[in-house]
Amino acid sequence: MIKKYTEKQKKQQTHGDLANSLIEIAVEHISESKSTEFALRELASKLGVSHAAAYRHFKNKHALLETIALRGYQKMNIFFLERLEISKDPLGDMARAYIQFALSNPGYYRVMFAVDFGKELNTDLHSACQGSFNALLEIMGKKNKINACKSIYTWSVVHGLVMLILDGQINTALNEFSLELDDLENQIIKITRNILK
Amino acid sequence: MIKKYTEKQKKQQTHGDLANSLIEIAVEHISESKSTEFALRELASKLGVSHAAAYRHFKNKHALLETIALRGYQKMNIFFLERLEISKDPLGDMARAYIQFALSNPGYYRVMFAVDFGKELNTDLHSACQGSFNALLEIMGKKNKINACKSIYTWSVVHGLVMLILDGQINTALNEFSLELDDLENQIIKITRNILK
DNA sequence: CTTCTTATGTTGACAATGGTAACATAAGAA
DNA sequence: TTCTTATGTTACCATTGTCAACATAAGAAG
């Protein structure tokens, strides 16, 4: 018994760019749900494609996440480069750029910090992540222990702030003191700059 | 046809303290897997109990997570109180306590920041979380905008640092500069303490 | 002690999901 | 035109969350 496809199925045989579509819709979903959990089948369905189609482009669900994380780091690194090429305040602009990237790309950012790094050393991912940190390290000046501490410190500040904001943990605090996000961001960058002198 | 249980099943009819056992094993699993994802059935099986037994103690999987988060905040608040009762350096000790709690209770800490706060306002959870922040706020002195910023700033530093450490993101940086965690922690607290000046 | 009620287990079912295998078609290379 | 490969499809399976029906334990009420 030979299977035959209907005309509709024939037309949908090629989606065009399923890999990218999957990435986009996953990032969007993660951004809205505030969680990196999602159903591959549901996304496929939304794209008008069968549940198994995704496996032609990604080995499994985790591979999709890894790809998203990698793209996120690449996007972020480019974002940094653009902002820092001509800067009179590298540290401040770096911090500002970091916060802005994360808050305007919550889907990517979440995945970048949700994918387990320890599991199977994905060298691409590792070096992409390393790249961001090195940019920060260079801003600090000479590469030594003290400046490494300062870099980690700065990373901690911006990463912590961004995660607290994305997870909605400081909403009530902001409301209570009628604080705007912009004010907070400026304050935090100001403090950071002073501290590191 | 009436079902009969074997002698073995009869003995296992009461587990003793399944609710707490579930919490403990879940926290342990999360701590080891570095992820808040787990299979309820697997945990039940490890506890020698059937897959549906958990539902006598928790409405669903998410409820278990909420309970873990709540306990985490309670444990953390107690931890803070103990450390700050007699302190000559409240901000430094607070930061130190925060980092220590998170690093020695990674399972709880992860859940505390993974449970979605926005979904269904779990008032207990909210107030428990609020309690931690208020402790920090009081250390800063008068409650105003500036000090709210400083509090959020401090929280960002310690939360960011802890998450980067737990997620293994700064391992390579630490290795590269032969930095010990203790050194880093001290450096960061030293820097943070300057905030209040 | 007996009986009733409730707390806490059990099994069995179901739907959703991740993943694989077998198969069909499209598209481009030979 | 034909062969190969990329990219879909359906069918199937194991795992998981959840619920319903049922069984037993343990303590309260008589």
List chain B residues with CB under 8 Å of A150: 191
pLDDT of residue A120: 61
pLDDT band at B36 (very low <50, low <70, confident <90, very high): very high
pLDDT of residue A10: 47
Decide: CB of B57 under 7 A of nucleic strand D. no
pLDDT of residue B82: 93
Reduced 3-state DSSP string for A117-156? CCCCCCHHHHHHHHHHHHHHHHHHCCCCHHHHHHHHHHHH
CB contact under 8 A, A169 and B37: no
CA closest to C22 C1', residue: A3
CB contact under 8 A, A163 and B164: no
pLDDT of residue A9: 47
pLDDT at B133 over 50: yes
Percent of chain B surpassing pLDDT 70: 90
pLDDT of residue B145: 94
End-to-end CA separation in angstroms for chain A: 77
pLDDT of residue A4: 47
The SS3 of residue B43 is: helix
Spell out which residues of A between 36 and 65 contact strand D, using CB within 7 Å. 44, 48-53, 56-57
| H helix intervals, chain A | 7-11, 18-33, 40-46, 61-84, 90-104, 106-112, 123-140, 145-166, 171-176, 181-195
What is the chain B residue with the closest CA to A186?
B149
Give the predicted TM-score (pTM) of the model: 0.93
The mean pLDDT values, 10 residues at a time, for chain A of 197 residues are 44 75 98 97 97 97 97 96 92 96 98 81 85 93 93 97 95 93 95 86
Neighbours of B144 (CB within 10 A): 11
Q: How far is A12 from chain B (nearest CA, A)?
A: 35
The SS3 of residue A50 is: coil
List chain B residues with CB under 8 Å of A167: 113, 116-117
Is residue A131 within 8 A of residue A73, CB to CB? The reply is yes
| Least-confidence region, from B49-58, B122-131, B181-190 | B122-131
pLDDT of residue B94: 96
Is residue B195 within 8 A of residue A157, CB to CB? The reply is no
Once rounded to an integer, what is the mean pLDDT over residues B149-168?
97
Q: How far is the CA of A40 from the C1' of C16 (A)?
A: 11
End-to-end CA separation in angstroms for chain B: 78
CB-closest option in B169, B188, B194 to A129 = B169
Q: How far is A165 from chain B (nearest CA, A)?
A: 10
Q: How far is the CA of A134 from the C1' of C30 (A)?
A: 49
**Mean pLDDT, chain B, integer:** 90
Closest nt by CA–C1' to A4: C24
Q: How far apart are CA B90 and CA A18, in angstroms?
A: 55
